[in-house]
Structure 1
Amino acid sequence: MSDSPQNKTSRRTFIASAMTFFVVFLIGISLSFAWQSQHKAIHKAQAEAIGHTYASQLRSVLDHNLSGIYSLAALIHEFGGFTRWFPQVAQSLHRIYPEVNHFALSPNGVVEQVYPLEGNEQALGFNQLTDIEQGTDAWMTLQQQKLLLSGPVNLVQGGQGLVARYPVTLEDRDGGAEQFWGFSNVVIRLEALLKTAQLEKLTEQGYAYKLDRVDLDTPVTIASSPMAELSEPIKVDMRLPGVRWQLTLAPEEGWLPAHLFIVNGIICFALAVVVARFVFMALRIKEQKELLTVLLTEQTEVAHASDSRLTSTLQAIPDPLLEIRSDGLVLNARMPNYEFDLNAFFSIGESYKKHLPQSVVEVFEHVFKEAKQSQTFNHRGALFSLETSNESLHWFEMSVVFQPLKWEQGKQGHFVVLLRDVTVRQESDTQLRIAATAFETQDGILISDQHNRIIRVNKAFQTLSGYSEAEVIGKTPAILQSGRHDNSFYEAMFEQLNRKGAWEGEVWNRRKDGDIYPEWLSISTVLDYKGQISHYVATFKDISERKASERQIRQLHYYDSLTRLANKTLMLEEMSYFIHESSMCQRQGVVLFIDLDHFKDVNDVWGHNIGDQLLQQVAARLTEATHKQDLVARFGGDEFLILLEPIDISRNENRAIYRASHVAEKIEHEFDRPLSINDVEYQVSASIGVAVFGEQCSEPLDVIKQAELAMYEAKALGRSRHCFYQSDMQERVLERVQLENDLRQAIVNDELILYVQPQWDSNKRMVGAEALLRWRHPERGMVSPATFIPIAEETRLILPIGEWVLRTACQWLSEWHHDADMSGFILSVNVSAVQFSQEDFVAQVQAILEEYDAPAEALQLELTESMLAHDQQDIITKMSTLKALGVLISLDDFGTGYSSLSYLHRLPIDQLKIDQSFVANIEQGSKNESLAESIISLGHNLGMEVIAEGVETEEQFEWLEKRSCDLFQGFGLAKPMLMSELLERYKHDMHSLK
């Protein structure tokens, strides 16, 4: 029995529905997979953005806390390695960078200074270059000469941290390459850094993370969440100074929920069933279509009329209109004259979910659900956003009406969706929220109207000014004025505001309690639609701490910490200003270079503490001797500079020279008065060099060098005086330097020779001799002692030379000890003040006498009278000890030096030596006659032997012999000779007497 036509139609309808089911199911599965991939990509993009945010925050915290290391390095470099400023500066920096555990300075790689010291004591003495863990990084920092970050490392004081080092180099004073000084260091504890970076909040957001250092052969984990295994993690690289870190993160529960695949499969299956059902129903309906053709024809005219009215209504609506079936299929999409192409998201005949982001789909689903459940079948006010192809964001407000099919009692139907573009409104709301948040910042904010009456202030304003909002509303900002600025200041401010629309600068204002403080003020104008000023907006911050820090840094940078005078840096800047920025036409400047004479001896004898106090008193006297417009500076050690105010020489060319001479003489008079410390007086003198400069000068250091050369000339002329710079001084200084170098070589090359000059009694019998130092230069020949002895004393070369003379004399005495002819022969040796001031001088003499087994009673030490101007008690003690050894003491150049006789009777002196200046012309009845006679009488009354030097004529000898002078020495009796010649003459005279 064959099938009827109706059965054949049902079979074809069933087959078509089944095929539709499989096709829709496969398409749904494919779309589901594509949607899941897109959703996963979105989650990864969000995770990557979060990772970059935390990485940026971590990098920012590190960069901020490492910036202080450059300030330390700059100050070390500026002060030439001087670091006494470190605790104060580090304390200021620690307040700015609280995450820093401590700052440290490590000259030559060894940590010597740490701030704060509490808790970090074990870091002191830590050698960064030799440490097993940190040595490699420290050497790499030194080689690369840039900031490098080490860590995490185990800190010597406990715990783990990051160590940042910056190599510091100093200029070579000889002009060579810069020399490595050490490191400036910043140490950040790892736990403090991670706490500030707030990586643990990733866990609160559902992410597992791990922070590694990946520039090493084996990556080192710095921090991680409890969940160590990360599935398909996002990796964010961070490049820090010398290292590379990597932050990896992934959701703890995976990128997609596990059940999502099952749910999507069920949805696809259900959707395929629904579509197949629709196909089945459509085919069944087609069978009955013919039956309805007549009815449809009759209703066509009615439908056309309705469509015409509906079309007119829709054309009057400017917003996009959608018709979406309850199963999500877009039935109609009308976009009248809309510049934002929504057709890309809503395609007729496709599900609205296909092209919309998941977040928007969720909004649609929620609205559709609410519209179905609502009694009025409508819903309004839902918001969602879509991003255009040019990455601009648009916001839409939805109005939805659900139209159910009457024959299905509201369970089926379609949604009419009206979309309104509210982007402008949403952006306005956002800007208002941002503005409200920004208004409550740490900076004070004041808003006034066009009449400058205050209409609003924030909480920071109330905190900084002390005024409440109620106290200032309706008033003008003049209530904050401190009185330090005149009307012209505010007039200029408002003139710039009206012209440019903004003003900023430093202003002094007054708080409610009367406290005056500095603030940084920024004012902007707000214009209305007519372009007229409607409001003023002022923001300000208290900069009191910054101003205090600036003053402290300036004090450290420009002033000497001991004397409170200007330092070398400020002096050079002031001179540069005069030379390069000020017009020196018809004006001259003057620089005085002041060096204290023999100040090193002061430190050696009385100690550096007394020396520092003397320098402070010297600074005070130099300030008293100058005008307020003059600049007094400590150049270094015991050297000072004075820059006189530039002088107009248009009427008199010598005005600058006169002023310089007057100031120099005034300074010399200041030093005539002794300095007093703890009721003890100290006599200090100074040598002054003067250099005059004008518009032809180009460099400050050249002028200072000229003044220094003039100072050396003043020292060469006898010290305690001033001298003006002359062009030939450079040559003399070079000559002196060359002579000093040659003298050093003379000691090594045995170029020094001892001559001896006989000493005679009244019977012209040789009873002794004075050892005289001579220098036979290989090129210059014999160099005068008057030339090289002062150089030897200034350079302290007199110490090894004096020891050599003493040793040679004792060696001769030892050889004569067993010679009967030499019995009673006395050998005199000159001792300089520098040599005698040594603490171990007496022990040195004793050791040499014992070494050569020389008779102490045959050795006579000649001391200059000027030596008595120093510590008399120390001199008496040393002389007494020498006398106890048996050594004889002679006071040389008597009458030319220290004139006080109050100590002369206390000194254990055996012999007074009349200076040759008193012996000259003595036979002609000059004033020298009375002086010489008085010295002879004084010496005999004190029980001392008297010897006269410089006896040149027979008349002088006879005059002195008649006044009972004991011994005689001079060219008139015998010139200096070699020891071999003296011994030959001495023994010849002895045999003649026998």
Structure 2
Amino acid sequence: MKKAIQYEQMRQSSRRVLVTSALLLIMLGFLPLPAFTDLTSYLPLHSFLEAVAVVVAAMVFTVGWYTYQGKADYRTVALACLFLGVAVLDFSHLLSYPGMPDYVTASGPDKTIDFWLAARSLGALALIAAVVLPVTRAPSTFRYGLLGMVALLVAGLHVLFLYFPHRVPDNFDASTGLTPFKVGFEYILVLVYGVAAYLLWQRSVASQRADTLLLSVSAAIMAFSELLFTRYMNLFDIYNVTGHLYKVVAYIYLYRALVVTGIVFPYQSVTTSRARFKATLDSIPDLMFELAPDGTIIDYHSDVSRPELLAPPESFIGRKMQEIIPDRTHETLRQACADIDASGKTSGHSYWLDRDDGVHWYEISGSRLAPENEEPRHLLLIRDVTERYRSDAELRIAATAFSSQEGIMITDTDLRILRVNAAFEHSTGYTQQEVLGKTPSMLQSGQHSREFYQNMWQAIMTSGRWHGEIWNRRKNGEVYPQSVTITAVRDQAGKITNYVGDYIDMSALKWAEEEISKLSYFDPVTGLINRTRALMLLEHSVKRSVQLQRFGALLMIDLDQFKVINDTLGHLAGDELLIKISERLQDLVRPMDNVARYGGDEFVVVLTALGEESRRAATTVQQVAQSILSGLEDTYHIQGSDYFSTCSIGITLFGEGAADTVELVKQVGIALFQAKDAGGNTICFFDPA
């Protein structure tokens, strides 16, 4: 965008220059303008203008020849070589001008015009070459070959003009001015320059190249200059003077074109490359260090704001690495540098650092950096791979815990299955022969939408990888969950050649999750729901009773003298009694009631749907509690011995207005304490009074 704006600005300014030059040309044709009175007064100005032209032409050669340090294109080389010839011919034109000392032979109008026309012809040829030749790198043979041919041509022209002037047509007559040959030749040059200007302008519009635009302006002004040289009557009139001025301006535009090609473009390219390189460095998740062979940190090339960078660069640049890192880490770095010295590169070395937020793992890769005229250096890339290490560790733990085996499927770009492994066969029930040539869609369970698969493949096309959970179908029709990772495999050209799918059967994991969930809510000894589940059910029952305006009750049951059996027969005997009590307790309540082991030798029972009247509810609870009290009072045969057991029961009602679960537990605990305090084997209601 910026380049386009700069080009448009230059195009507008070039138009103004051309329009101004054309208007001046027209004005010279209609207005009587002063000229120099004689050759002597004009000679210094002519010499100055020609000297400037020679210098500019020589600079054109210098810039064009050395642009890109010898990597110039055909067009630039042609302009450089041909304008070297132009510079030499213009210099001879200057020395041959009337009034100058003899230049090998006597100076005069015909001699100086011969060199002039030769120089203008070579300049026209250069601009035609700019139109015809490609803007691609020119080999050395072209550069030196063209330079040699230009040198031979210029030398031949000098021999012709200096020693055989009679073989060249006359250009000037002292009494009549320019000869028809001279005027005709100038018009041919005007035509050549004009065509070159038009073609270069059109090409600049198409390519948006500033150097081509400047060449077009140079050719147009040269055409204006040659028009002026068809009009003068003597060697010091206004047309001659203005023509020389136009020529100098045209040379300057040509020089600017080569400066743009040889200096501005390369500089912009370097600036762009540096910005791109910096952006690349900032985007990669690595810290890049440049080390001398003795371990001195010469430079740090990554973003200084990286959180992985433990200290600012100014605190370690110029110091040796072993001064700022632990010995064990330095040994790893030393081995990496030894690999670089031996093979030119290194990878795979890792080390760890104990940071404030825990242990971090780092991986080292690097290569040899050999700056010109300097000793080789080590370029090290250090990446924080902590997350990868953690992920790998978690995967290993998961694989060990669930004894899962990973199935693998490989397909071509059309998703035709090429190969599967034994784990895939075991997981799906399909043999390799049954799936070859088919697509993975044969495993679909129908539980995922079309949009799900579209998003999955969009992620694969974008990032080259997708990971997620899919419910697939086995050969026997069973639908089961799989953890699936699909990766696109690319060749060296970056083209996708295959897809690899990793399938982990998650059935065992899902079953394990369900078992863990079950253990979270059930007592392992009695199989009853535990305290956590009981409180959840109590909270739900209280809310339901309030909504239906019906009473419910919470009973807490404690075994009397339970400590005696634990102390005399042991905990195994106590567990056996708890199991017998829990089994009998479930038989003594309604199917809709919930029985739980609250902890130790305590049980709770949540009764619901006891009616809308508190007295009736209390009566029903009393009957249930009495049934429990009587039903649990018995002699139990434990480990070959008889043990008589009774219990105490605390009761509290709920359902009349909102009730807090914690408060209900406190109330039933107070009632149970009162029952125990009364000697046990009794029932006690919570009395709020």
Larger strand percent: 1
Where on the TM-score scale, by shorter chain, does this alignment land: which range? 0.3 to 0.5
Q: Which gives a bigger RCO, structure 1 or 2 (Cα 8 Å, sep 6+)?
A: 2
TM-score by length of 1: 0.29
TM-score by length of 2: 0.39
